[in-house]
Amino acid sequence: MPKESSTHRPPVVLGIETSCDETGVALVDAERRVLAEALRDQLERHAPYGGVVPEIAARAHVEILDQLIERVMVEAGLGFADLAGIAATAGPGLIGGLLVGLTTGKAIAAAHRLPLLAINHLEGHALTARFVLGPGGGDGLAFPYLLLLVSGGHCQLLVVEGVGRYRRLGTTLDDALGEAFDKAAKMLRLGFPGGPAVERAARTGDPGRFALPRPMLGQPGCNFSFSGLKTALRQTIERQGPQALEPPTLDDLCASFQAAVAEVLLDRARHATELYQREYPGATALVVAGGVAANAHLRDSLATLADEQGLRLIVPPPALCTDNGVMIAWAGQERLALGLTDGFAAPARARWPLDPAAEPAPGAGIKA
């Protein structure tokens, strides 16, 4: 009689991510193995415009998505009939790109009679740490945990209470943090995306040379605001004239900007950790996700805070912090395990807050 274990194959989910400017596709099994993945960014197409152009992004997803899906299926040696479900980002994000990925996911699911998982992109980011560490027990990451999500489109502090259960503690009132880095870089002619360039220049700069404002510092709650800081930076650059674009002034401006950001982030995150510790007896971890989590200076500040508060600081590896298909496939696995599948009427949603009870933030960015 054949042994059962020799035929046992954990269920595999195909994940599709097209909410912004990355086309991401991955096959992930329920035991957290990535069987194959493909990721294509569109930086070259958007760079001349200094930001993501929605129509260009949607067209680029159309051009590449089918090829990437075919490639991962071939690489994993699987046919669609071998899959347990199709997970596609349904929002929030740029609507054209979302429609490309979600419609493709629906078509595959319908043709092969597979369950569809219409994934909230933010849930993908939120559950990535459980993909990295395991979903509980031992060193795994159990609910509830605190999440700081900081990227080009998102800037939120959330308690992840469970799959599909989120409590938003704070969000940005204007720009996302990555967006603030990108705008600072644009003013300083450092190119796009700006975060890495600002961090690099800041390394040799004097963070005390320019006294930039710290918006929201010391105020109650966990909301963010970066527009005042951006305006102050613009005025400072204008005052410095052409020197602002050359070291050492350029480096000092970047270091001063980054120091202001770090101080604000720390203040907001401190409020959130205090609330989390107070209201969740099982409080264990502060998770940081999103592209800005790559910033070593900000990570060091958050590590000190976590240490002070007796929390584990968890930062997934950079490739999983930025947008990718693995996080969508994994969120699909988590939802599939709970039977949280979606009908084919599931809409693409430009806005889709994780915590529907939270007040919408006035003037929040596209993905907030």
The residues binding Zn ion (CB under 5 A) are 151, 323
CA–CA separation, 124 and 326 (whole Å): 9
Q: Please, which residue, 108 or 180, has the CB nearer to ligand KG4?
A: 180
CA–CA separation, 183 and 176 (whole Å): 10
Measured N-to-C along each axis, helices 249-279 and 195-202 cross at an angle, to the nearest 10 degrees, of 110
Q: Minimum Å distance from CB 153 to ligand KG4?
A: 4
Q: Minimum Å distance from CB 349 to Zn ion?
A: 15
Span interacting with ligand KG4, options 62-70, 107-115, 195-203, 299-307, rule CB under 6 A: 195-203
CA–CA separation, 107 and 179 (whole Å): 34
Distance in angstroms between the alpha carbons of the first and the last residue of the chain? 55
Q: Please, which residue, 215 or 290, has the CB nearer to ligand KG4?
A: 290
Given the structure tokens 């274990």, which residue do they identify?
A: 5
Q: Which of 124, 152, 207, 215 binds ligand KG4 (CB under 6 A)?
A: 152
85-91 vs 165-171, strand pairing mode: unpaired
Q: Which of 24, 135, 215, 291 binds ligand KG4 (CB under 6 A)?
A: 291
Q: Minimum Å distance from CB 97 to Zn ion?
A: 12
Q: Report the partner that residue 294 touches, choosing among ligand KG4, Zn ion, none (CB closer than 5 to 8 A by kind).
A: ligand KG4
- From 131, 147, 134, 89, select the one nearest 312 (Cα to Cα): 147
Q: Minimum Å distance from CB 178 to ligand KG4?
A: 3
Burial of 142 (0-12, 13-18, 19+ CB in 10 A): middle
Q: Minimum Å distance from CB 223 to Zn ion?
A: 20
Q: Which of 98, 114, 292, 354 binds ligand KG4 (CB under 6 A)?
A: 292
- From 364, 366, 362, 344, select the one nearest 107 (Cα to Cα): 344
Paired strand residues for 40: 23
**Is 92 an interacting residue with respect to ligand KG4 (CB under 6 A)?**
no
Q: Please, which residue, 117 or 311, has the CB nearer to Zn ion?
A: 117
**Is 257 an interacting residue with respect to ligand KG4 (CB under 6 A)?**
no
Within 10 angstroms of residue 257's Cβ, the number of other Cβ atoms is 28
Q: Report the partner that residue 193 touches, choosing among ligand KG4, Zn ion, none (CB closer than 5 to 8 A by kind).
A: ligand KG4
Span interacting with ligand KG4, options 72-80, 178-186, 226-234, 236-244, rule CB under 6 A: 178-186
Q: Minimum Å distance from CB 334 to ligand KG4?
A: 20
What backbone torsions phi and psi does residue 224 show, to the nearest 5 degrees? -120, 160
**What is the SS3 assignment for 26?**
strand
Span interacting with ligand KG4, options 2-10, 132-140, 148-156, 347-355, rule CB under 6 A: 148-156
CA–CA separation, 85 and 254 (whole Å): 45
Span interacting with ligand KG4, options 62-70, 133-141, 146-154, 343-351, rule CB under 6 A: 146-154
Q: What does DSSP assign to residue 224?
A: B
Contacts with 134 (C-beta within 8 Å, 6 or more apart), sequence order: 32, 140, 141
Q: Please, which residue, 18 or 225, has the CB nearer to Zn ion?
A: 18
**Is 193 an interacting residue with respect to ligand KG4 (CB under 6 A)?**
yes
